[in-house]
């Protein structure tokens, strides 16, 4: 993008005037002396034994705080037991049907200890793996904290995944025990989780025991000698289980990435470095104060649920909301109603979720008093400026900064974001702003040379950071190859980005989905943002299609806003609109109108599916797809369209 193109972008408005001197000062000092910087933060946690070395860096493997001994559940719970904090509410839970439960830190501590003992009694021990397939109920974090207490490595499988996806993950992790419930509520229906576990266990052999929580009260099969009810498992268990003193790099969890780009990868996180990083970033980004009510509705099945629903907020002694159901059930004002009811002050959501609720207009949020909000956040995808502004104006009532947080399962915690705690920089809608302290991010060309401001390239991280994953479970070769080979010495996240002339970072989409049109590289997000900027378009997905002359041509699938109908006239108008925003090279070749887009269960568009369909190729593994019907629909729309062109 040229200078003039960049400055003509509509996102140059300033939100919150610059008070960033502190922020930049801390960032610079952290980069000059990362080990001192990180060890000072680690000291804010409780260690059973101090570390001998801050960082043992044998490229590409980093060990943080080696020699140090630590325990996650101790840091999230035991630390508060000697003070008034123990009576503070850790979780306010609401069921989809309106049921309510609250748990103080003390109550959480008690239940975690009993369940940790239940796990020990069932024969799991330090070093074993266990798998979760659970609905969003308080027993879920309880069981996770119990696992960490005894040094068991856990892996969470999102409860919307199929039996075969669950079986693959159990087989890869060789989990000995599975924790599930009879069923879970979602959009008024009951998901029969235990039945799915039974089906998965037919394809696995490592599992010895299954713990089943009674939640939906439905008929299920209990296999003798293998399946145990949760309420039976905790009978006659101890009030206190000594937390294991774990090596800092003891594996805390394995999380299989959502698979947006193909076969899931088992991202393995350690303990001491991960906790330090999640602790620090929660503080910098969310700046949680004692009276804040924090809500991150992400399912625990995603990394956001691990880092910023469980560990980060608990390490800060925060009060969090936990909600069992879907954000649009029984209607799309559920979240706004809950923010009002519980006086939520910090809300951390996704661009897809925001766009989905935005489609229903301003009236629904305006029915509720959202004045308690003081800080908003987003994660998961770039947020298009139009959705950013809606979030800012309508949800935040123009008074809440928005932290747009870029990070990945692999990074363990937020890497790029504004930081209210350190002094907020001016925000630009759609930009994740700057790297957090200690994060040495850059944008480079194919050869690994730094790009100038205003030039697009590959995002890289040049120094290890405590939250980084240890490796890919059972596959260190793939770890080296995927993340460290493209730019030797640098971590390569696989995202395409640009820094504008003020140094702000903008994420442009996945690097392997970048389009190459007549020698110009275009991020999918650039074209999608231009599409949704048009009032008629609610959502868009872009893919490249091989083209003999141009290399690739641009294919767009668009969902229209309510009240708009597909027409050739609109198609021409949209083509011209994109052309006028991004220039002639970005003119879409084909635009299809669809009712839905293929998305992962976490709500991200599966562009590789869109691309395969657009170019008539096989769509590959879609076990993590939200709704298989959308793939068929995309194919059908294309077929119909092609036919109508031929007619």
Query: Residue 309 CB, nearest distance to ligand ATP (Å)?
Result: 14
Phi, psi of 102 (to 5 degrees): -125, 150
Of 189-218, which residues contact ligand ATP (CB under 6 A)?
Answer: none
Residue 257, interface with ligand ATP (CB under 6 A)?
A: yes
> Tokens standing for 213?
């929580």
Distance CA 410, CA 466 (A): 12
Of 305-334, which residues contact ligand ATP (CB under 6 A)?
Answer: none
* SS (HEC) of 42-82: HCCCCCCECCCEEEEEECCEEEEEECCEECHHHHHCHHHCC
User: Cα dist. 341→68, 100, 289, 336, 350 in Å?
Assistant: 43, 12, 19, 9, 21
Rank residues 129 and 510 by Cβ distance to ligand ATP and give the closer one: 510
Query: Residue 21 CB, nearest distance to ligand ATP (Å)?
Result: 25
Residue 350, interface with ligand ATP (CB under 6 A)?
A: no
DSSP 496-540: EEEE-TT--EEEEEEGGG-EEETTEEE-HHHHHHHHHHSTTEEEE
Rank residues 337 and 621 by Cβ distance to ligand ATP and give the closer one: 621
Phi, psi of 460 (to 5 degrees): -135, 160
Of 38-46, 82-90, 171-179, 407-415, the segment contacting ligand ATP by CB under 6 A is 407-415
Residue 592, interface with ligand ATP (CB under 6 A)?
A: no
Of 115-123, 141-149, 373-381, 591-599, the segment contacting ligand ATP by CB under 6 A is 373-381
- Which of 113, 260, 307, 384: binder of ligand ATP (CB under 6 A)? 260
Q: Which residue has the tokens 């729309």?
A: 637
Of 432-471, which residues contact ligand ATP (CB under 6 A)?
Answer: 432
**Rg over CA atoms, the chain:** 24
Task: Write the CB contacts of 325 (distance below 8 Å, at least 6 apart in sequence).
Answer: 95, 96, 136, 185, 186, 187, 334
Rank residues 119 and 402 by Cβ distance to ligand ATP and give the closer one: 402
- Which of 90, 379, 574, 597: binder of ligand ATP (CB under 6 A)? 379
CA angle at 176 for the pair 175 and 179, rounded to the nearest 5°: 85
Distance CA 34, CA 30 (A): 5
Residue 401, interface with ligand ATP (CB under 6 A)?
A: no
Of 204-212, 245-253, 401-409, 434-442, the segment contacting ligand ATP by CB under 6 A is 401-409
Of 28-36, 256-264, 354-362, 539-547, the segment contacting ligand ATP by CB under 6 A is 256-264
Q: Which residue has the tokens 């087989």?
A: 171
Rank residues 320 and 350 by Cβ distance to ligand ATP and give the closer one: 350
Query: Residue 154 CB, nearest distance to ligand ATP (Å)?
Result: 18
- Which of 104, 162, 245, 408: binder of ligand ATP (CB under 6 A)? 408
- Which of 29, 245, 261, 426: binder of ligand ATP (CB under 6 A)? 261
Q: Which residue has the tokens 């989409």?
A: 509
Positions touching ligand ATP (CB under 6 A) are 257-261, 302-303, 379-382, 404-409, 432, 493, 495, 507, 510, 604
């Amino acid at each position: 993008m040229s200078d003039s193109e960049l400055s003509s972008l509509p996102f140059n408005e300033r939100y919150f005037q610059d008070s960033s001197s502190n922020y930049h000062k801390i960032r610079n000092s952290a980069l000059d002396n990362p080990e001192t910087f990180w060890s000072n933060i680690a000291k804010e946690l409780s260690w059973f034994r101090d570390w001998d070395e801050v960082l043992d860096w044998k490229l590409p493997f980093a060990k943080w705080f080696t020699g140090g001994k630590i325990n996650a559940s101790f840091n999230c719970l035991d630390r508060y037991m000697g003070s008034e904090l123990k009576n503070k509410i850790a979780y306010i839970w609401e069921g989809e049907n309106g049921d309510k439960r609250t748990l103080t830190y003390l109550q959480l501590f008690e239940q975690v200890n009993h369940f940790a003992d239940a796990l020990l009694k069932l024969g799991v021990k330090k070093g074993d793996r266990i798998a979760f397939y659970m609905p969003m109920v308080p027993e879920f974090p309880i069981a996770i904290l119990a696992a960490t207490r005894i040094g068991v490595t856990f892996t969470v499988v999102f409860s919307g995944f199929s039996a075969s996806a669950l079986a693959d993950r159990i087989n890869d992790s060789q989990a000995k025990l599975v924790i599930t419930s009879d069923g879970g509520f979602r959009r008024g229906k009951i998901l029969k989780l235990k039945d799915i576990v039974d089906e998965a266990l037919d394809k696995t052999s490592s599992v010895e025991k299954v713990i089943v929580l009674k939640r939906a009260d439905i008929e299920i099969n209990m296999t003798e000698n293998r399946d145990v009810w949760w309420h039976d498992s905790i009978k006659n268990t101890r009030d206190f289980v000594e937390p294991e003193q774990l090596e800092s790099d003891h594996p805390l969890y394995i999380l299989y990435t959502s698979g947006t780009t193909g076969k899931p990868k088992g991202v393995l996180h350690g303990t001491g470095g991960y906790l330090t990083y999640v602790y620090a970033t929660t503080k910098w980004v969310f700046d949680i104060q004692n009276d804040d009510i924090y809500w991150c509705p992400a399912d625990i099945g995603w990394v956001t649920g691990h880092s910023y629903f469980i560990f980060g907020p608990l390490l800060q002694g925060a009060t969090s909301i936990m909600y069992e159901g879907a954000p649009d059930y029984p209607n799309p004002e559920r979240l706004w109603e809950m923010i009002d009811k519980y006086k939520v002050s910090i809300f951390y959501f996704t661009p897809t979720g925001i766009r989905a609720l935005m489609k229903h207009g301003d009236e629904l949020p305006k029915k509720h008093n959202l004045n308690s909000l003081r800080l908003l956040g987003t994660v998961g995808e770039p947020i298009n400026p139009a959705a950013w502004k809606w979030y800012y104006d309508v949800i935040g009532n123009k008074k809440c900064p928005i932290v747009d947080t870029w990070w990945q399962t692999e990074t363990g915690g937020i890497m790029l974001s504004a930081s209210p705690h350190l002094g907020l920089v001016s925000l630009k809608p759609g930009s994740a702003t700057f790297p957090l302290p200690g994060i040495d991010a850059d944008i480079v060309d194919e050869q690994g040379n730094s790009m100038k401001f205003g030039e697009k390239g590959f995002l890289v991280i040049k120094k290890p950071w405590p939250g980084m994953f240890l490796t890919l479970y059972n596959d260190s070769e793939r770890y080296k190859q995927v993340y460290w080979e493209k730019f030797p010495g640098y971590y390569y996240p696989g995202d395409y980005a640009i820094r504008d002339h003020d140094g702000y970072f903008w994420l442009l989409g996945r690097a392997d989905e970048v389009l190459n049109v007549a020698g110009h590289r275009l991020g999918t997000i650039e074209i999608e943002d231009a599409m949704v900027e048009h009032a008629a378009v609610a959502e868009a997905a872009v893919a490249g299609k091989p083209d003999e002359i141009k290399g690739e041509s641009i294919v767009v699938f668009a969902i229209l806003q309510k009240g708009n109908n597909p027409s050739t006239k609109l198609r021409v108008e949209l083509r011209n609109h994109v052309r006028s925003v991004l220039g002639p090279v970005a003119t879409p070749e084909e635009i299809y109108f669809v009712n839905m887009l293929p998305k992962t269960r976490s709500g991200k568009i599966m562009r590789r599916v869109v691309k395969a369909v657009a170019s008539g190729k096989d769509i590959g593994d879609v076990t993590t797809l939200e709704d298989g019907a959308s793939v068929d629909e995309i194919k059908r729309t294309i077929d119909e369209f092609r036919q109508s062109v031929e007619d």
